[in-house]
Amino acid sequence: MQPHQDVLADMRAKGFSYQQLADWLDGQGIKVSKDTVRLFVEKASGSVS
């Protein structure tokens, strides 16, 4: 998911849900759960240690 980090952050800022982000990633060929996306986005933004 790392190559898509900026896009995911932008999508979250625009109000997309974690499920919508997971669905978008699926379209990019990356199958992950919404919980995995949430943890990735929170860690990348510094919300989780």
> What is the domain partition of the chain in residue ranges?
2-45
Q: What angle do CA 19, 3, 9 make, to 5 degrees?
A: 50
Residue among 12, 44, 7 nearest 27 (CA): 7
Q: Is the pLDDT of residue 37 over 80?
A: yes
Average pLDDT, the chain: 93
Q: How would residue 49 be classed by pLDDT, with cut points 50, 70 and 90?
A: low
Percentage of residues in the chain with pLDDT exceeding 70? Answer: 96
pLDDT at residue number 38:
96
What is the average per-residue pLDDT within 34-42? 96
